[in-house]
C-alpha cells in the first residue's frame, strides 16, 4: 500500500518503564490501524517466520550432523567389536595349535624313548652274542 502522509504508526512500545507510541510515518494499513514497515503485524509475522525457518534449518542441519557422527561412532564400535572377536578367534586357534604341537612333541619323545630302549636291548643282545 502506498505511503499516506499524515498517518503515523500506532504501535505501542516500551522503553524500560516508559510506554510510548512508535509515531513514525505509516505506510501500511492493517486490522484497521496504520503501521510503519517495522511494526506492521504482517511484516512482523513474516520476519518472525523467516527467523524461525532459519533457526529450524540450522537445528535440522545440526541434528543431521549429529546423527551422521553417531552413525560413524556406532560403525567404529562395531568394527572394534568385530576386531576383538577376530583376535579372540586367533588366540583360540593358536591355543589349539599349541596343544596339538605339545601332543605331537610328547609322541615323538615317547617314540624316541621306545627306540632307545629297543636299541639298548639290541646292544645287550649283540654283546651277549659276542661273549657267548
- Closer by beta carbon to Zn ion, 23 or else 66: 23
Asked if 28 touches Zn ion (CB under 5 A), the answer is no
Cell numbers describing residue 24: 513514525
Q: Which of 18, 20, 22 is nearest to 8 (CA)?
A: 22
Number of residues that bind Zn ion (CB under 5 A): 6
For residue 81, give every residue at least 6 positions away whose Cβ sits within 8 Å of its Cβ, in sequence order, or none. none
Is the distance from CB of 7 to CB of 39 less than 8 angstroms?
no
Residue 43 binds Zn ion, judged by CB under 5 A: no
Binding test (CB under 5 A) with Zn ion, winner from 2, 21, 34, 36: 36
Q: Is 40 in the site for Zn ion (CB under 5 A)?
A: no
Cβ nearer to Zn ion, comparing 12 with 67: 12
Return the biggest CA–CA distance within the chain.
152
Query: Do the beta carbons of residue 26 and residue 41 sit within 8 Å?
Result: no
Q: Is 39 in the site for Zn ion (CB under 5 A)?
A: yes
- Give me the residues that bind Zn ion (CB under 5 A), please: 9, 11, 22, 24, 36, 39
Amino acid at each position: 500500500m502506498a505511503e499516506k502522509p499524515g498517518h503515523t504508526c500506532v504501535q505501542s512500545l516500551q522503553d524500560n518503564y516508559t510506554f510510548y507510541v512508535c509515531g513514525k510515518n505509516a505506510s501500511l494499513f492493517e486490522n484497521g490501524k496504520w503501521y510503519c514497515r517495522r511494526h506492521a503485524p504482517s511484516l512482523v509475522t513474516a520476519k518472525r517466520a523467516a527467523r524461525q525457518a532459519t533457526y529450524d534449518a540450522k537445528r535440522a542441519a545440526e541434528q543431521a550432523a549429529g546423527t551422521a557422527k553417531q552413525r560413524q561412532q556406532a560403525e567404529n564400535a562395531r568394527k572394534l567389536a568385530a576386531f576383538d572377536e577376530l583376535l579372540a578367534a586367533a588366540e583360540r586357534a593358536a591355543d589349539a595349535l599349541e596343544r596339538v604341537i605339545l601332543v605331537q612333541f610328547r609322541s615323538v619323545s615317547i617314540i624316541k624313548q621306545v627306540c632307545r630302549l629297543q636299541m639298548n636291548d639290541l646292544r645287550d643282545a649283540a654283546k651277549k652274542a659276542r661273549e657267548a
